Amino acid sequence: MKRHVLIFGVVGGLLIAILQYTEYRFVVIEHSVELYGVLIAILFATFGIWLGLRITRRRETIRETVVVREVLVPTPAPALKPFAPNTAQQQNLGITARELEILALVARGLSNREIATQLFVSENTVKTHCARAFDKLGAARRTQAVQRGKELGLLP
């Protein structure tokens, strides 16, 4: 760092000596603001180019070192048996087939609007069925209703 300062000082001194020697002092004095602006512009441009090259090199290095490997693990196909809801629990709680159908769609993560579109009913009808099913299950939220439905064997 000290060596750079020394080199810049010597070069600056030589430039000043050359300017005085060739009698360009008049140009420097008359246009000092413009020359100062040009020097600052050159300094910022040089710094910007240097910084851009430095950042670009680091990104390229990181990109070259990243290795992505995908491993496919075959899974055996499970024997799928159809799920049958516990009808005794369903009748005991008084949950209708439509409420159970809507509860199953809630368990799949569908919104009220998506359920209404799929079943060709209004969104308010879905809300009513949900509220009744939640009351019968003793749930305050959708997640509680789904969990309770699974515990009672109403949902897969």
Within a domain: 146: yes
Q: 93 and 141 share a domain?
A: yes
Of the candidates 106, 90, 99, 95, the one whose C-alpha atom is nearest the C-alpha of residue 125 is 99
Q: Which range of residues forms the domain containing residue 24?
A: 13-65
Mean pLDDT throughout 46-70? 72
- CATH number of the domain residue 122 falls in: 1.10.10.10
* Token pair of 136 as six digits: 């019968």
Using CA atoms, how far residue 106 sits from 134, 140, 145, in Å, is: 11, 14, 9
Q: How many domains does the chain have?
A: 2
How many Å apart are CA 10 and CA 52, to the nearest integer?
Answer: 29
Within a domain: 3: no
Residue 121 near residue 112 (C-beta atoms within 8 A) = no
- pTM for this structure? 0.48
Within a domain: 71: no
Residue 112 near residue 127 (C-beta atoms within 8 A) = yes
Q: Output the pLDDT for position 113.
A: 92
Within a domain: 111: yes
Q: How confident is the model at residue 27 (pLDDT cuts 50, 70, 90)?
A: low
Within a domain: 45: yes
Within a domain: 1: no
Digit-coded pLDDT (tens) for 99-127 = 889 999 999 899 999 999 998 999 999 99
Q: Is the pLDDT of residue 29 over 90?
A: no
Q: 91 and 145 share a domain?
A: yes
Own/partner long-range contacts of 102-110 (Cβ < 8 Å, ≥24 apart):
102/126, 102/129, 102/130, 102/133, 103/130, 103/133, 103/145, 103/146, 103/149, 103/154, 103/155, 104/155, 106/130, 106/142, 106/145, 106/146, 107/146, 107/149, 107/150, 107/155
Within a domain: 56: yes
